[in-house]
Amino acid sequence: MRIIKARDYDEVSRKAANIIFSVMTEKPDCVLGLATGSSPVGIYKELVRRYEEGDLDFSKVTTVNLDEYKGLDREDPQSYAYYMRENLFSHVNIRSEKTFLPDGREADSQKACEAYNQILRQAGRQDIQLLGIGHDGHIGFNEPADHFPKETHCVDLAESTIEANARFFESREQVPTQAYTMGIQNIMAAKQILMVANGKGKAKILKEAFQGPITPQIPASILQLHPNVILVADEEALSEMESC
Active site residues: 67, 136, 138, 143
What stretches of the chain show up as alpha helix (H) in DSSP? 9-26, 41-52, 80-87, 109-123, 159-165, 184-188, 203-211
Please, are residues 101 and 84 in contact by the beta-carbon 8 Å criterion? Answer: yes
Q: How far apart are CA 58 and CA 84, in angstroms?
A: 14
Sheet holding 153-156, edge to edge: 67-69, 178-181, 153-156
205 in the Ramachandran plot: left (φ > 0), alpha (ψ -120 to 50) or beta?
A: alpha
Q: What is the DSSP letter of 139?
A: B
242 in Cβ contact with 155 (< 8 Å)? no
CA atoms within 13 A on the CB side of 244: 23
Report whether 148 contacts 216 (CB < 8 A): yes
- Cα dihedral across residues 234, 143, 66, 127: positive or negative: positive
Q: Would you call 36 helix, strand, or coil by DSSP?
A: coil
Question: CA 128, CA 31: separation in Å to the nearest integer?
Answer: 7
